Chain A
Amino acid sequence: MTDLAVQFAGVTKKYPHFALTDIDLELSTGGIMGFVGANGAGKSTTIRILMGLVHQDCGTVDVLGHAMPMQQAVAKRDVGFVSEDMRLYGPLTLAWHMNFVRSIYPGWDQRYAEDLLRRFDLKVEQKIKGLSHGQRVKAALLLALARRPRLLVLDEPTTGLDPVARREVLSELMAVLADEERTIFFSSQNTLDVEQISDQITFIDRGRIIESANKESFLDRWRRIRLMLPPNAVLPRLPGIVEVGGSARLPVLTVSRFEPAMVAACQDAGVAVQAVDAMTLEEIFIVNVQNRREREVA
C-alpha cells in the first residue's frame, strides 16, 4: 500500500509545438501541492494527464494507486476535479447538477453541499447560464467538494475571480485542508494563492519541472543579499548564486541556497552586508524561470 496519492514517473507528451518532458512528481496522501507555471508552461497538460483526459506518450502516472489513463474510471470515483475552463450545463439549474452528481457518487454529502450553498451564497434554482464567473467556479467547486473526494485536483480555479470570490474560494479550500487525509493538487498562476494554501510547491516552465520542494524550504533557501563593496574588493564565492544585480559598488545577490554562514563569509571578505531580504514566492518563481531560460539560451 503506497502513501502516494499522485505519482508521475518519466512522463512525456509531445505535441507539434510543445512537449512535456520527463515529468517526475510525487504527492503524498494528505499533501497540498501548488503547481506554478506561466501560460503555456504545461500545467493544464500535466493535470489532464493526471485526470486521464490526455494520454502520455511514455512514462507512468498513478493516481490513488490506479494507473492512468487505463483505470481512470475507478480512480475518478475518489477524485474531485475543477478547472478554469470547465463549464456546467447553462440551461440547467444548480439543483439539477447537484442531483446528477449525487446520483453518481454514493458518498455525496448533502448536508455539506447545503452548507457550501450558504457559504458561497448560491441559489439552487438559478440556471447556470445566469451565474457570474465567480459563481460558476463556486458551483463547480461545490459539486467537487460535496463528493468528499480523497484527491482534489484544481486547475487554476481562482483565475478570473474578483478578490472577494477568490478569498471565499481559498477560505473553503483551507477549510478542506482540515481533513488531513485529503490530498490537493492545485495549479495557479497566482503565486500568492499557492503560497497561502500549499505545503509543497512545484515550478514548471516550458514543459519541464524546474524545481519541486516544500514551501518552507523554498522560502528559507531563497534570499536577496544587499552588499556594499569597498574599492578594490571582490565578491566572495558563495554557493547557489542565481543572479547578481545592482551596481559594481552595491551588488545585490540572489541566492537559492542561503545559509547564515554566507553573511559571515561576506564580512570575512571585507564586504559589508547591508541587508538580507526574504523573497516572495512570485519573486522566487520569476528569478528561477528567468535563470533557467538564460541558461538554456547559453
Chain B
Amino acid sequence: MNTFIVTRLILKDWYLNRPLFVAALFTGLLTLGAVSAAKGTQIAVILGVIVLATILIGMGAVIMSSMVNERRQQTLPFVMSLPVSYLEYTTSKLAGSLLIFFVLWLALLSGMIATILVTPWFPHGLIPFIVIMAVEILVTTSLIAAVSVTTESQGWTIGVTQVGGLALNAVGFSIARMPSIGHTMSGPTIQWSSASIFKTISRTASGKSALLIPSVSLLLRSRCQIQMSDPDIRLGGKLAARVPGIQHPARLNNHQFHFVFRKRFVLHAPGHDEHLAWAQMHLAVAEVDAQLALHDEKCLVRLRMVVPDEVAYELRELELVVVHLRNHFRRPSL
C-alpha cells in the first residue's frame, strides 16, 4: 500500500468537500446558537436535534456518495491515470469520506453536548439520547459508505440512505419510549447506568454491521476491477452513430437508460394527472426536437435510381456511368 498516494487522494477529497464541510459546520453551529438562545424550550430542543441530525445525515449521504459521483462526473479516469491501484483508490475513498464525516460528526456532537452542559436551562438527561442517536448516525453513514464504494451505484446509495434515515427515525422513536431513557431525558442529571442504552446501541449497530460486513467483503472481491461503464451514461452510443448527420457520435453520450424510472415527457398530460402512477410504466418516451422544421427536409436516396442523359456504348448496357472513388472522398469523378 502506497500511503503517500493514498494520503494525497484523501487530501484531494478533503479539498473538494471543503465548502460543503464549512457550510454544514456553520449551519450546525448556527443551530446550536439558536437553540441556546431559545432558552431551553422543548420545541427549540426538538427542532435543534432534528436540524443537527438532518445536517449529519445529509452530509453523510453527500460525502459517502463521492465515489459514485467520481464515476458519474467522469473524473474517475483522471484519478486512475495516476500511479494508484484499485485497493489504494478504494482505501483513500473510504478513509477520506469517513474521516471528513467523523470530524463533522465529532464537532457537532461535541457542540451539542457542550451547549447542553454550559447552558443552564437544558436538561442534562438529554445527553444519553443524543449520544445514542449520534452513534446510530455514524453507523448508518458507514453503511452508506460501504454500499457506495461497493456498488458505485447512485440508486443503491440513495436507497440505502433513505432506508437508513427511516431506520434512524424508528430507532429514535423506540429509544425515546424506553423507560430507562425516556423518563430521564428531561431530568437534570445524566443517567448512563442503564444497560439498555448499550444494549440498544449494540443491537442496532450489529444489525447494520450485518449489512456492512458483507458489503465490505463483496467490495474486496469486486474491487479487482472498476466498473467503468456507467449504467446511466452510455458513452459514444451506437445509437448516435447510426443517426445520419452525426459527425462525432462519441460525444453524444446517452443518458438515463432506466426506462421505467426516469424523467421523461408524458404525452396527453391531462390523462396522467395522478399523483402516484403506481402501475403505469409508460415505456414510450416523448422526445423534444428543438430544430426548426426547415432543417428537416429529407430526400430519399435508393440503391437503384434513374440516371438521365447517359449514352450507352452498346444497347445491352443500361448505362455507362462509372463512378470512380478518388482520393478526395467527397468528389467522385465521372
Taking Cβ atoms with an 8 Å cutoff, the residues of A that contact B are 38-40, 44, 48, 51-55, 69, 72-74, 76-77, 79-92, 96, 100-101, 103-104, 133, 140, 144, 156, 159-160, 189, 224, 226, 245-247, 249-250, 252, 277-280, 282-283
Contact = CB atoms under 8 A, between A and B. Distances in A.
B12 A40 contact: no
Contacts of A39: 236, 238, 241, 249-250
B213 to A, nearest CB: 25
B228 A54 contact: yes
A249 B317 CA distance: 10
Given A53-B77, A86-B81, A104 B8 contact: yes
Interface string B215-250: 000000000111010000001101001000000111
A119 to B, nearest CB: 22
Nearest to A74: B83
User: What interface size band does chain B fall in?
Assistant: 35 or more
Given A53-B77, A89-B75, A104-B8, A73 B83 contact: yes
A83 B251 CA distance: 12
Contacts of B211: none
A245 B323 CA distance: 9
Contact of B8 (A74, A86, A100): A100
11 contacts: A39-B249, A40-B236, A53-B225, A69-B225, A86-B75, A86-B78, A89-B78, A92-B16, A101-B82, A133-B251, A277-B327
Nearest to A245: B325
A104 B82 contact: yes
A279 B327 CA distance: 6
Contacts of A282: 329
B239 to A, nearest CB: 10
Interface string B294-334: 00000000000000000001000100101011110100000
A17 to B, nearest CB: 10
Contact of A40 (B228, B238, B251): B238
Nearest to B225: A55
A53 B228 contact: yes
Contacts of A249: 313, 317
B326 to A, nearest CB: 7
A280 B236 contact: no
A48 B329 contact: no
A100 B12 contact: yes
Nearest to A48: B228
B85 interface: yes
A159 B248 contact: yes
B84 to A, nearest CB: 6
B74 interface: yes
B291 interface: no
A103 B291 CA distance: 48
Contacts of A91: 16, 19
B2 interface: yes
B73 interface: yes
Interface string B80-92: 1111110010000
A73 B8 contact: no
A233 B292 CA distance: 55
A89 B228 contact: no
Contacts of B317: 247, 249
Contacts of A277: 324, 326-327
A250 B81 contact: no
B328 to A, nearest CB: 9
Given A76-B81, A86-B77, A280 B327 contact: yes
A38 B82 CA distance: 28
B5 interface: yes
B80 to A, nearest CB: 6
A74 to B, nearest CB: 7
B252 to A, nearest CB: 10
Contact of A250 (B75, B80, B322): B322
A131 to B, nearest CB: 14
Given A53-B77, A83-B77, A73 B88 contact: yes
